[in-house]
Amino acid sequence: ALFSHLVLCICLSHLSTLLVVLSRDRASALPLPKGSMGWPFFGETLHWLLQGSRFHSSRRERYGNVFKTHLLGRPVVRVTGAENIRKILLGEHTLVSTQWPQSTQIILGSHTLLSSTGDLHRQRRKVTFSRAALESYLPRIQKVVSWELRGWCREPGSIAVYSSAKTLTFRIAARILLGLRLEEKQFKDLAKTFEQLVENLFSLPLNIPFSGLRKGIKARDMLHKFMEKAIQEKLQRNHPEDHSDALDFLMNSAKEHGKEFTMQELKESAIELIFAAFFTTASASTSLILLLLKHPSVIEKIRQELMSHDCHCTADISLEKLSHLRYLDCVIKEVLRVLPPVSGGYRTALQTFELDGYQIPKGWSVMYSIRDTHETAAVYQSPPSSFDPERFGAGRPEAAGRFHYIPFGGGARSCIGKELAQAILKLLAIELVSTARWELATPGYPSMQTVPIVHPVDDGLQLYFHPLQPSQGHEA
């Protein structure tokens, strides 16, 4: 009864604000988009969480490419289609501004790239994921990928691929981006806590006992406590020139510009760096392994390309060498088209504007759809449902467009870790096809869940990994 009373009080406290925000802009003659706003305060959040991608596709089929709904305590306009998304992404700072759900902002904090704007945002992006920084990360990423994959091949039983991919990408984030050297138990405990943080990033903004937001805040506080100790050790080391992780790049750049980060800024930046390279890259890695398994001819073509460039493993790989592997680049692009890790991005309307004949009221959230746009783009020559890396080859119209293919978003707010993620995926693909073969450990393929990111239901992608013998490297 006490819990119900608390929820009721919170809902009533938000009601007056909510009624104003939910209303249309009467200064505009245009109608609101079609759609349903669901229950008061809670909206259609429960339906969204339970139905996954079917929630959006069913409403798109019913209402069109622009429809209204109510998610995570806010009115939302869901947008699909290249032309509509072009207007959103190119309207940054004029029509819209970046807007993550309130729960995400609370958990990640206010000193992150997600929250920064203008020159500060551009400077931090440029430093942390510059070409020079990425080049320095590659050898260490390669060692982690090779070490993890050898472990998969030594495992006598099957591997739960999504869990294993999360371990891989978290290890990359912890070692390469933060420079952490952890004992295995410490590593696993930290990964588990971070997973709890990410799982509650998209929750109702209710900071009450047992709520998702409360769980996310608890995980964040535990991570901040650990990070503060690790950062203090980093600041006190005797030979800073021996280290070149992403946090170092960020701290050194700040000093060069006459700025010292506070401990709170460093802790939030450290968490964001892991966030940029962890779950979404684990999702994409899982999708890569799944789609290669389903299409052995693609594996053979990758091997042929590696042989033609005398690139049989990831040792001594460079960004320059990766740039010459054109077919591999097409494969990675197609994996991200078919199974983009996240379904869309959030913005907030800075002013009321028109989209597809409807008004988008000032203050409403705008959620542009990556997955639906990929699935419905008319530009594709082969069916969008097919896995066809060649669609991104030279001379194909699919390779020329800009807003029908947006796995990393676009505009000034495209994904901060996209170059890093693509490099990790390419290194993983090279290591996989050069050193291993893999097969299903179950009668069939698992279904994929799409909320909050794409992953196999109940980690159902169970595979056997086997080391390739030297003579097997050319076999599919």
Bind-site residues for heme: 415
Give me 437's structure tokens. 């073969």
- Angle of the 161-172 helix axis to the 263-277 helix axis, nearest 10: 140
Cβ neighbours of residue 451 closer than 8 Å, sequence gap 6 or more: 48, 49, 52, 53, 343
- Is residue 162 within 8 Å of residue 286, measured between CB atoms? yes
DSSP 8-state code for residue 352: -
Residue pair 289/164 in contact (Cβ under 8 Å)? The answer is no
At 433, list the tokens.
Answer: 């096809």
Q: Which residues contact 422 (CB under 8 A, 6 or more apart)?
A: 332
DSSP assignment, residue 468? Answer: P
In angstroms, rounded to a whole number, what is the distance separating the alpha carbons of residues 126 and 206? 35
Note whether 312 and 196 are within 8 A (CB): no
Structural tokens at position 461 = 């992608």
Q: What sign does the dihedral 187-190-288-444 (CA atoms) show?
A: positive
Which stretches does DSSP call E strand in 220-352?
A: 344-349
Separation CA 7–CA 14 (nearest Å): 11
Phi, psi of 186 (to 5 degrees): -65, -40
Annotated binding site: 415
Nearest by Cα to 303 from 474, 60, 114: 474
Q: Find all residues with CB under 8 Å of 349, minimum gap 6, and list them.
A: 95, 96, 360, 361, 362, 363, 364, 365, 366
Side chain identity at 278, as an amino acid letter? F
The DSSP annotation for 137-199 comes to HHHHHHHHHHHHHHHHHH-SS-EEHHHHHHHHHHHHIIIIIS-----HHHHHHHHHHHHHHHH
CA 405, CA 384: separation in Å to the nearest integer? 11
